Chains A and B, each alone.
Chain A
């Protein structure tokens, strides 16, 4: 990671790097709206502390790297609101584990990044605070739900950000904004201090401008944590050396079901180009089938909503959150939740409550869980034949702001290609794969088997080297 190497070798100070990032934010964020809050004074203290550690001889893998943190992760000293009214003013008691590991590695936190409320959305339009705009075209969405982190990284305000991914919320915005977004295997990164949305799916991961940086951040934040009971003790592998290993001989399967979905013409051509590129780099390319993949959205909206309705039952304005004026406890619950949650969050809570209600449970939740197990089994069989699976990250380029807000189901289908890996708990990365004729970014998604991060990074870095896209400032924020 260039920024960290410069600070580690004392070519630049962390303070100097931070001041440059703050100047970029000052210049660009008025147009983009990536940050809910920027905390320059706290960041300056952290940058100076990183410089002191470097001078003392500490080897810091993320020395002085300015980070945007999605607003659903605890950072001591800052609010964590999930861009929701119901968490306005909430100050977490400590750092989340992922943030604590970044801090130990010398990273500097510049601000809280915007998101869809409680990470429920694909466009960041569900934030209760503000819109975030795509740095390539300010009239378009940045994707979501980690749209603030993706837009901040893609526009060059910061070199890296953390997002969370429940059904595609790292990969989809990374693809929309022309950044790299990586969701690790379920259990690789501790969720301690990540506000829960759907606990069998949620995973934290990096958004960066290249694959090597994503590998570095992933290496820092992954690994066992006793504070998360789903945390895996598996060795996290060696993502950084995998990223230089090349594509020759790698078995690359192109997902047959993705191409049967009636792809947007430019997305289909982009996937064809990628296929040729893998072939010419010496990979063994074949079609591969995951028969239940087209049902993933239906499964996801039952499972994720059911879990969300349970997880969000805790919000009642008793211990934190704005307190409405009411005369009894029952009214406090109802009024705080009715005022505090936005329409999309209410929709998911209602859908999840429906799927778990007596009389519907078996027909919806039970059936979705069976279909999820079959989908996981489909992937296990596919990975007997190939090392990685490739498909588009997004079915269309970033759409216009407001285009899908009145039609929730159409919005949900934006995640058709990212949700399958989430349901099966697999590692998956979105890598920039070119632009439409209108200059909008497209992303290629690469999935690996459970705990197969090394293969994912090898394929992603190889593809990135072969396609060699220029690292330019997006035109929407060019002055």
Chain B
């Protein structure tokens, strides 16, 4: 693959990992950047897709909706069966205020 200026740099990886709520150790940033940049370079073959094209053909289909009304579900049972910690029918999570951001 020909050399080219990198689109995905370690700094870009740091930023998108934060958006995706993933922790990428500093020592691995450049490895991820290299791998993702190789994939993105391959994707760049789409650069010649015309701006005006058949786009919209598929999105023109209306989104189907069904009537929206409450009905009994298995939510409480599913939560009780699956949540790591629950109390009084609610899932329990660690403190929300005062943590890292």
The residues of A with any CB-CB pair to B shorter than 8 Å are 89-94, 226, 229-230, 295, 297-299, 301-302, 309, 313, 316-323, 326-335, 337-338, 341, 346-347, 349-351, 353-354, 357, 364, 367-374, 376-377, 408-409, 412
Contacts and interface: CB of A to CB of B under 8 A. Distances in A.
A456 B74 CA distance: 39
Contacts of A372: 58
A94 B53 CA distance: 43
Given A298-B45, A347-B36, A357-B19, A327 B66 contact: no
Contacts of A368: 43, 46
Contact of A373 (B16, B58, B64, B91): B58
B22 A298 contact: no
18 contacts: A226-B66, A229-B63, A230-B64, A298-B43, A316-B21, A322-B84, A326-B94, A327-B95, A327-B99, A328-B95, A328-B96, A330-B101, A341-B22, A350-B16, A367-B47, A371-B46, A373-B54, A374-B54
Nearest to B1: A409
Contacts of A330: 99-101
B78 A354 contact: no
B94 A93 contact: no
A78 B77 CA distance: 15
Interface of B: prevailing SS? loop
A409 B74 contact: no
Contacts of B98: 328
Interface string B11-45: 01101110111110000000010011011101101
Interface string B69-84: 0000111011101111
A2 B99 CA distance: 61
A321 B53 contact: no
A409 B16 CA distance: 20
Contacts, number: 151
A320 B93 CA distance: 11
A330 B38 CA distance: 31
A354 B36 contact: yes
A337 to B, nearest CB: 5
Query: Which 10 A-B pairs give the minimum distances between C-beta atoms?
Result: A328-B99, A323-B84, A93-B74, A320-B82, A93-B78, A370-B55, A373-B54, A338-B23, A353-B16, A377-B54
Interface-central residue, A309, A322, A330, A333, by most chain B CB under 10 Å: A330
Contacts of A353: 16, 19-20
Contacts of A367: 46-47, 49
Contacts of B5: none
Contacts of A309: 20
B100 A354 contact: no
A92 B81 CA distance: 9
A93 B53 contact: no
B56 interface: yes
Contacts of B19: 353, 357
Contacts of B56: 373
